[in-house]
Homo-oligomer: A and B are copies of this chain.
Amino acid sequence: MKLREIFATNLRRLRHASGLSQEELAHRAGLNRNYVGLLERAANSPTLDTIERLATELAVEPVRFFDKPAGH
């Protein structure tokens, strides 16, 4: 499983856990809504700065985006 796929899976999981829509999360993190969708489909490779902003808005440690999904 590629790193961006692990990230994508965790981003979607953590965003759902927060109750935020893609649009809400994008707005809070200063990102384009479509870009959040791309990240959740592993279609783009975010920078560390973007990862940090997403972690801040989701109130999680950045390392949580790298947890390996069960079964991998």
Contacts and interface: CB of A to CB of B under 8 A. Distances in A.
A4 B46 contact: no
Stoichiometry, as copies per complex, reads 2
Contacts of A45: 47-50
A3 B61 CA distance: 10
Contacts of A51: 3, 48
**A-side interface size class:** 10 to 19
A66 to B, nearest CB: 5
Contacts of A7: 48
A52 B48 CA distance: 12
A38 to B, nearest CB: 12
Interface of A: 2-4, 7, 45-52, 55, 62-63, 66
